[in-house]
Structure 1
Amino acid sequence: MNRPRLFLVTPPAFDTATLADQLKQAFAGGDIACVMIYMPDASTKDIQAAADVLVPIIQDGSAAALVYGDTQAAGRSGADGVHVDKSPEDVKLAVESFQPDRVVGTGGTKTKHDAMELAETGVDYLFFGKLDLTEKETAHDKTLSGANWWAELFETPCVALAGNTLDTLAEVAATGADFVALKDAVWHSEDIAKTISDANTVLEAHPFPEVD
């Protein structure tokens, strides 16, 4: 698929049964590349309990299931990978433990130098955008500039976090990011399947340039 794909991020706190139903609605709406189970304040036990329910649903939707910040829960739940952004050392350990069979992603970089250093660990993607910030209607300027810079110069795929409405998708897709991440725009929607369908329609209008 020669255009950006959707990368969903769960709310930081949720009722697992409710989110499971929302995920099924999301997959009914069309293509989703992956879903990050984002529970930054939860224990390994609680993350694994949620992942045990959600990972099969995500995988049944032909998407990659990623667990944020907890390699134990990711491994035990059968998730497809883990997102680690606490320290370069943690990222390196995850790469050594999970690859090549599973995905390792990272983000949260503050400088271009940090981003390049993390990419050198061999991660599968770099995430631009702060997961712990309150979302605005549009993507943050640093997210857009970071993704645009990265996509133009580097081969490691990147993810760019959009705002909390679909109006933000076109400007994020225009950065050349491989994946566009959505959080609140999906889970706060009254019609999740339509939101995913509409998002894919926008992304289809932003094909990657053909490489000779």
Structure 2
Amino acid sequence: MNDAATRLVLVTPRQFDPQTFAPRLAAALKSADVAAVILDLDTEDTQAWRTAAEVLRPLAHEAGAPLLLRSRADLVRELGVDGVHVSGDAKAVAAAGKALKPDLIVGAGDCTMRHAAMTIGETSPDYVFLGRLGPEDVGAAPSLVEWWIELFEVPCVAMAAEDWGDVDRLVRAKADFIALRDLVWADAKGPEAALERARALMPGQRVSAA
């Protein structure tokens, strides 16, 4: 079972201007201890991914947070980022692992059911993502997190999508990591205020030393 403090993973908006978004990400990274940043874009345009990664990578690295590309394992080495978050099936996860591990991170998921999580977990990713990323993110059920933590060694990243009560429930379920997107970027008071709220709900969470 996991007795360590839950940490944060930030997921970018699916659409943003990198230069405009960069100060917001920098502020967020200074407001909390962020374990990783997942770059998630709603386009297949390679140049858009390249531009976003070039702008955000230095900010993430300065804060000590790996930058992962969602489902673009083909660009990881070219763009000098730290790994990939695979949203595909077990075959896609295994292919990414073969191409990138052991020197780079291969996380995987978008799992809302036990069977899907077990199938992904059998590919030995660095983490399993519980919940689903998409046009409308789906949060992880606390019962799914509790089940995973009780039975498996692979860390889980649990998505908090609906409200701040989700964060509290996932912390109580002992998730290894909690992923946040709209709760941070859509906060009317800004990402710093959102992450201050997250820290209050997460024992052991601290402001980044960066």
Separation in 1, partners of 2:63, 2:203: 19
Question: Who is 2:155 aligned against?
Answer: 157
Offset, 1:125: 0.3
Deviation per residue, 1:81-123 (Å, 9 max, x gap) = 1011222211101111111111101112354233222212110
How many residues align? The count is: 202
Question: Who is 1:15 aligned against?
Answer: 17
Question: Who is 2:89 aligned against?
Answer: 87
Question: Who is 1:200 aligned against?
Answer: 199
2:62 is aligned, of 60, 63, 69, to 60
TM norm structure 1? 0.87
1:39-188 equivalences under 5 Å are 39-109=41-111, 111-132=113-134, 134-135=136-137, 140=139, 143-188=141-186
Separation in 1, partners of 2:179, 2:10: 5
Separation in 2, partners of 1:201, 1:56: 28
Q: Is the CA contact (8 Å cut-off) linking 2:156 and 2:177 kept in structure 1? A: yes
Separation in 1, partners of 2:84, 2:157: 14
Q: Is the CA contact (8 Å cut-off) linking 1:40 and 1:69 kept in structure 2? A: no
SS of the residue 1:204 aligns to: coil
Q: Is the CA contact (8 Å cut-off) linking 2:9 and 2:35 kept in structure 1? A: yes
Taking a change above 3 Å as real, the CA distance of residues 30 and 109 of structure 1, as seen in their structure-2 partners, is: closer
The code of the aligned residue for 1:202 comes to: L
Question: Who is 2:208 aligned against?
Answer: none
Of 173-182 and 38-47, more deviation after overlay is shown by: 38-47
Give the superposed CA RMSD.
2.0
Of 21-30 and 187-196, more deviation after overlay is shown by: 187-196
Separation in 2, partners of 1:85, 1:134: 14
Q: Is the CA contact (8 Å cut-off) linking 2:107 and 2:127 kept in structure 1? A: yes
Separation in 2, partners of 1:69, 1:12: 13
SS of the residue 2:141 aligns to: helix
Offset, 1:41: 2.7
Work out the percentage of aligned pairs sharing the same amino acid.
33
Separation in 2, partners of 1:122, 1:92: 8
Deviation per residue, 1:62-87 (Å, 9 max, x gap) = 11111101012222111111011222
